[in-house]
Chain A
Amino acid sequence: MKLRRQITRGLGAQLRQGETRLFLAALLFAIAALTTVQLGAQRTQSLLLAKAAEVNGGDLSLSSRAPLPAAFSGAAREAGLRVADSLGFPTMLFAGERQQLADVKAVAGDYPVRGALRVRGSDGVERDAAIPHGGTAYADARLLDALGVAPGDMIEFGELDVRIAGELTEDPDGSQLFALAPRLLVRLDDAQRAGLLGAGSRPGYRQLFAGEPAAIRRFAAWLEPQLDGGQRLRRVEDTADTLRGAYERGRSFIDLALLLTLALGALAMWLALARFAEREADNAALLRCLGASRRDTLLLPLGQVLLLSLPCLLLGMLAGATAEHVLSGMLAERYALDLPRADPVAALPGVLMLAVLLLASVLPPLFSLLRVSPLRTLQSAAAVPGRSARWLLLPILALPVAGVLLGGTPRLVLILIGALVAAALLCALLVWLAVRAMALLAPRLRGLWRIGLTRLARKPMLAILQGTALTLSLTALLIATQVGPDLLQQWRASLPADTPNWFLLNIQPEQRAQVIDRLQDNGAARLGHMPVATGRLVSINGKPASEHIPPEPSMQRWRDGPLNLSWSAAMPEGNTLAEGEWWQGDGSAGEVSLERGFAGRLGLKLGDSLGLRIGERDVDVRITNLRSTDWDSFRVNFFVVLAPAAARDIAHAYIASFHLPPESAAIREVTRAHGNLSAIDVGAILARIRELVGQLTSAAQGLLLLALAASALVLLGALAYAQAERRREAALLRALGIRRRELARLLALEWLGLGAIAAVIASALAATAGLLLGSQVFQFDYRPSASMFAWALFAALAVCALAAWTAARTATRTPPAESLRA
């Protein structure tokens, strides 16, 4: 057989067939959705990294207690990176009679390498700013207030007098979030001239780097082997825990969106191709009769499908890139996001690879054509190749590969796919039960209701496939758009109005009574305080701690960093005992309590012994209990709490947490009276973190919505699966005298029945997910909103109404005389 000629000659005829068009439409849409999501993911990823880089101070940051070699910054500049040096140290500042302890940050080079400095000038207008000129500085609001100065005034900075050039409102270096004392930003050469960097000043040195990701990776790989023990390199990826959490949440949202798009796209294509194979079986049988080989009967339709797929791939990518461009623009505007550029060329190999995987996983239903018997030409029922549902396993198996190809970590991919498969199975089971219920109900009904429900119940596999796909995407949609925001809102509302919003640090033992009294007099609510000392974890079960603690970067702070600890006779408020026994009274000298999560990360358990060095003292303790801590209480909490008997004679200060109304002047009064105290505005930090997390999750949520909208449309294609069969039935029913309106009502009944089932199951699943998340993660009782069900019903009925309308349009146009020709 002249196969090539046959393939090309039959292309036009194939294109006129409904199933072929459906397959191509599903492919085009899946590729478009994939491209949209890939580009969106790429852009969101860049946004996440840019935000993390802002908090990190750069794409890479190197810190040390000793000056950093200039060779490092030189090499970075040669590699085309932006470089800034930064030096941090505490010092006393003076303005007239007033004095205040401040955190000075001295910067040089391209500071800030990421983000922008924002400064409010003496005119009260806030604007982007470069680093201060020589002899000038920027001070934050707390410093201006404490020193009683304003932009334009002079202050004493060591041996220099510097002029305040503006109020520092935003410094894209995460250290500002966690600064203990008010902040002064100066030039590095001014700091050196001020004579404050002598022995005993213990400044912290940092070098910040930013640039193209590839250049950053190369530079980090070059730099890492040259670092000594005191130099710590931080990448964007291992920046502050809060941001990393948001980053990973965003990342799993994106992965979930992509996997869902792929799964539904593959399902739609598989349905179309299974139908296509059934139709081709007649042609294949005829070709076999005429002497074609089995190979030819497969290669002919396969070749045609692949040839027709090529332009769809290109069109899909083009449509996807356009859609992503438009949607990103809308998202950027809505959330006021400064979205980075998308790079379609970089996304191309990924999309192509996924397209090939997608095709490879859905084409196998065609292989059933190899088994078609030539007898089928004589006796069509005798040699049906069978709908090979087992091929459906292929797209399912392809999902993990796709997930890993998309850059997900295998563990995360497995978790997501496990969740997806479990949800799909649960949905399938529930839809099956609903279909069974319909089968039982149908005989009790009359007329169109009976015909409609019976027809739906008599195609259980199709109903389950369609119902599951619809339910799954609805559930994900509900969780993303309804349960998630509801949870956050209800959780915020569940926090008491007087949740502590200030921490006061460095209260010396002799100041304690006076400071606490003063705070109480000023109306501080929920006032609590605990002693705090700084130590180091030296040994675990007799071995050096560095050998026991996992070598991950996130663990480094515990291996050689300082460890804040406290002691208490009673269990600190907001803590509950998880394991072991709390000590009686002051306990014994060898007892310690650990926060459960901290113990888990370090691989510690009850009975393990810890060697701590606190100041000049070595303290050996055994873990006698583990605590669960409610971090949301925003009270002072510690990972390590000693029995008071173990903490005798340890040099310490106190830390207090309390709530003050925003307009209260108490902080100003207390810090003025005691210049050594540092106040942390937890409320402001939380607001900033919330804003960051909000922006990041909004972007990721937008992406998930996008993927789900795409899936809904792909699903619509799948809903038309039984179109040919329905057309035959429609012609018959029309011949038997059913009216157009009745036929449309019948189809609407079937689809809307399916939609209602999907809506009920999806709302129940989403509400269950909300209840579980509420009780397990947020630790409060979540109340599912009634509007969620209405929303689900609306979304499901909208999709199904569209499907019913499509089906009805074809069916009612079918001439009844067609039944005589079939």
Chain B
Amino acid sequence: MIEARGLGKRVDGPDGALTILEGIDLVLNPGRSLAIVGRSGSGKTTLLSLLAGLDRPTSGRSWLHGHELTGLDEEARAALRRRLVGFVFQSFQLIPTLDALENVMVAADLAGLDDAADRARQALERVGLGTRLRHLPHQMSGGEQQRVALARAFVHAPPILFADEPTGNLDGENARSVTGLLFDLQRDHGTTLVLVTHDPDLAARCDQCLRVADGRSVAPA
């Protein structure tokens, strides 16, 4: 389960303090999916990073799978992320010098899995890249790179997945294919999914939707 109460983030800017997020409340039950939507600059990605424990809020509290993040330092949050969380990024974020298999194995290794190589291979086969194991990121298309990222996100079967504009850098066909895979994997693993998107179709496939405008949650779309 993911829960947030009164979550907010303020930063110091050149013209004084700037409020990016304020008073966000949400509850997302296990195995459910949530789409965060809103205009560019509305604070969607900031909300995602607070919910995932990548950043600390300046106000409010949040829980990840029953663990309160608010009081934890970065090291403790990293330990939680490693166990509980998978990520999919808009710009794929693969390590350019490692091939597809090795990129997926990084997450398996970090999670301390014994059979990292086998698990990574299976995960890549699951996303349809069983024949591209030894390809480096620059030898793959954007859609393929995002599928490697999906394999990496699910290789250690985390209970929660955060996805930041997972189809934002992809064309229609690839976007549909990656979206299909994402929801299939979510369903198969029973994963709780939080995704940030501009894509109304993608948002429509989620169980819940949170619209953010000027740093505040507004009525669900």
**Quick one: which of B75, B89, B117 contacts A819, CB cutoff 8 A?**
B89
Expressed in whole angstroms, the Cα–Cα distance for A251 and B95 within the complex equals 49
Distance between B42 CB and nearest chain A CB, rounded to angstroms: 15
Q: Which residues of B contact A738 (CB under 8 A)?
A: 78, 82, 110
> Is A732 interfacial (CB 8 A cutoff)?
yes
> Is B49 interfacial (CB 8 A cutoff)?
yes
Distance between B109 CB and nearest chain A CB, rounded to angstroms: 5
| Closest chain A residue, CB of each to CB of B99 | A458
User: Assuming the A-B contacts A454-B98, A455-B95, A737-B83, are A820 and B89 also in contact, with contact meaning beta carbons closer than 8 angstroms in the complex?
Assistant: yes
**Quick one: which of A446, A733, A819 contacts B106, CB cutoff 8 A?**
A733
> Is A70 interfacial (CB 8 A cutoff)?
no
> Is A290 interfacial (CB 8 A cutoff)?
no
Expressed in whole angstroms, the Cα–Cα distance for A161 and B48 within the complex equals 109
> Is B116 interfacial (CB 8 A cutoff)?
yes
Q: Which residues of B contact A233 (CB under 8 A)?
A: none
Q: Which residues of A contact B164 (CB under 8 A)?
A: 820
Determine whether the beta carbon of B97 is less than 8 Å from that of A451. no
> Is A815 interfacial (CB 8 A cutoff)?
yes
Expressed in whole angstroms, the Cα–Cα distance for A260 and B109 within the complex equals 42
Q: How many contacting A-B pairs (Cβ < 8 A)?
A: 87
Determine whether the beta carbon of A815 is less than 8 Å from that of B55. yes
User: Assuming the A-B contacts A455-B95, A729-B95, A733-B110, are A816 and B78 also in contact, with contact meaning beta carbons closer than 8 angstroms in the complex?
Assistant: yes
Q: Which residues of A contact B138 (CB under 8 A)?
A: 381
Distance between B44 CB and nearest chain A CB, rounded to angstroms: 10
Expressed in whole angstroms, the Cα–Cα distance for A796 and B93 within the complex equals 33
Expressed in whole angstroms, the Cα–Cα distance for A581 and B38 within the complex equals 101
Determine whether the beta carbon of A740 is less than 8 Å from that of B106. no
User: Assuming the A-B contacts A736-B81, A819-B89, are A455 and B54 also in contact, with contact meaning beta carbons closer than 8 angstroms in the complex?
Assistant: no
Report the interface size for chain A: residues with CB under 8 A from the other chain.
Answer: 31
**Quick one: which of B54, B105, B112 contacts A450, CB cutoff 8 A?**
B105
Q: Which residues of A contact B75 (CB under 8 A)?
A: 739-741
Q: Which residues of B contact A458 (CB under 8 A)?
A: 97-98, 102
Determine whether the beta carbon of A736 is less than 8 Å from that of B110. yes
Determine whether the beta carbon of A447 is less than 8 Å from that of B109. yes
User: Assuming the A-B contacts A447-B112, A736-B107, A816-B54, are A455 and B98 also in contact, with contact meaning beta carbons closer than 8 angstroms in the complex?
Assistant: yes
> Is B74 interfacial (CB 8 A cutoff)?
yes
Distance between B106 CB and nearest chain A CB, rounded to angstroms: 6
Residues of chain B from 24 to 70 with CB closer than 8 A to chain A in the complex: 45, 48-49, 52, 54-55
Distance between B122 CB and nearest chain A CB, rounded to angstroms: 17
Distance between B125 CB and nearest chain A CB, rounded to angstroms: 18
Expressed in whole angstroms, the Cα–Cα distance for A516 and B22 within the complex equals 110
> Is A734 interfacial (CB 8 A cutoff)?
yes
Determine whether the beta carbon of B79 is less than 8 Å from that of A737. yes
Query: What is the interface residue range for chain B against chain A?
Result: 35 or more
User: Assuming the A-B contacts A447-B109, A455-B98, A820-B89, are A737 and B45 also in contact, with contact meaning beta carbons closer than 8 angstroms in the complex?
Assistant: no
**Quick one: which of A448, A740, A820 contacts B109, CB cutoff 8 A?**
A448
Determine whether the beta carbon of B95 is less than 8 Å from that of A732. yes
> Is B91 interfacial (CB 8 A cutoff)?
yes
Determine whether the beta carbon of A446 is less than 8 Å from that of B116. yes
Expressed in whole angstroms, the Cα–Cα distance for A728 and B89 within the complex equals 13
> Is B85 interfacial (CB 8 A cutoff)?
yes
User: Assuming the A-B contacts A737-B82, A739-B78, A815-B55, are A725 and B117 also in contact, with contact meaning beta carbons closer than 8 angstroms in the complex?
Assistant: no
Q: Which residues of B contact A822 (CB under 8 A)?
A: 89, 91, 93
| Closest chain B residue, CB of each to CB of A821 | B45
Expressed in whole angstroms, the Cα–Cα distance for A735 and B111 within the complex equals 13
Determine whether the beta carbon of A820 is less than 8 Å from that of B49. yes
Q: Which residues of B contact A448 (CB under 8 A)?
A: 109
Residues of chain B from 89 to 133 with CB closer than 8 A to chain A in the complex: 89-91, 93, 95-98, 102, 105-107, 109-112, 114, 116-117
Q: Which residues of B contact A737 (CB under 8 A)?
A: 78-83, 85, 110-111
> Is B87 interfacial (CB 8 A cutoff)?
yes
Distance between B141 CB and nearest chain A CB, rounded to angstroms: 10
> Is A443 interfacial (CB 8 A cutoff)?
yes
Q: Which residues of B contact A741 (CB under 8 A)?
A: 75
Residues of chain A from 622 to 681 with CB closer than 8 A to chain B in the complex: none
Determine whether the beta carbon of A817 is less than 8 Å from that of B49. yes
Residues of chain A from 801 to 822 with CB closer than 8 A to chain B in the complex: 815-817, 819-822
Q: Which residues of B contact A819 (CB under 8 A)?
A: 54, 87, 89, 93
> Is A459 interfacial (CB 8 A cutoff)?
yes
| Closest chain A residue, CB of each to CB of B83 | A737
Expressed in whole angstroms, the Cα–Cα distance for A789 and B60 within the complex equals 58
| Closest chain A residue, CB of each to CB of B107 | A736
Expressed in whole angstroms, the Cα–Cα distance for A743 and B111 within the complex equals 14
Distance between A383 CB and nearest chain B CB, rounded to angstroms: 13
Determine whether the beta carbon of A443 is less than 8 Å from that of B82. no
Distance between B49 CB and nearest chain A CB, rounded to angstroms: 4
Expressed in whole angstroms, the Cα–Cα distance for A443 and B91 within the complex equals 27
From B74, B75, B106, name the one whose CB has the most chain A CB atoms within 10 angstroms. Answer: B106
**Quick one: which of A451, A455, A732, A740 contacts B74, CB cutoff 8 A?**
A740
Residues of chain A from 299 to 352 with CB closer than 8 A to chain B in the complex: none
Q: Which residues of A contact B110 (CB under 8 A)?
A: 447, 451, 733, 736-738
Determine whether the beta carbon of B106 is less than 8 Å from that of A725. no
Q: Which residues of A contact B85 (CB under 8 A)?
A: 737
Q: Which residues of B contact A820 (CB under 8 A)?
A: 45, 48-49, 54, 89-90, 164
Contact flags (1/0) for B137-170 with A, using CB distance below 8 Å? Answer: 0100000000000000000000000001000000
**Quick one: which of B79, B90, B102, B114 contacts A454, CB cutoff 8 A?**
B102
Determine whether the beta carbon of B54 is less than 8 Å from that of A735. yes
Determine whether the beta carbon of B107 is less than 8 Å from that of A455. no
| Closest chain A residue, CB of each to CB of B117 | A443
Expressed in whole angstroms, the Cα–Cα distance for A733 and B111 within the complex equals 12
Distance between A431 CB and nearest chain B CB, rounded to angstroms: 17
| 7 closest residue pairs by CB, A with B | A737-B82, A737-B81, A458-B97, A817-B54, A817-B49, A817-B55, A816-B54
A447-B110, A740-B78, A821-B45 given; 4 more Cβ-contact pairs under 8 Å: A446-B114, A735-B81, A736-B81, A820-B48
Q: B: which residues have CB within 8 A of A?
A: 45, 48-49, 52, 54-55, 74-75, 78-83, 85, 87, 89-91, 93, 95-98, 102, 105-107, 109-112, 114, 116-117, 138, 164
19 CB < 8 A contacts A-B: A446-B109, A446-B116, A447-B110, A447-B112, A451-B106, A454-B98, A455-B97, A455-B98, A729-B95, A732-B95, A734-B78, A735-B87, A735-B93, A740-B74, A815-B55, A817-B49, A819-B54, A821-B45, A822-B93
Q: A: which residues have CB within 8 A of B?
A: 381, 443, 446-448, 450-451, 454-455, 458-459, 725, 728-729, 732-741, 815-817, 819-822
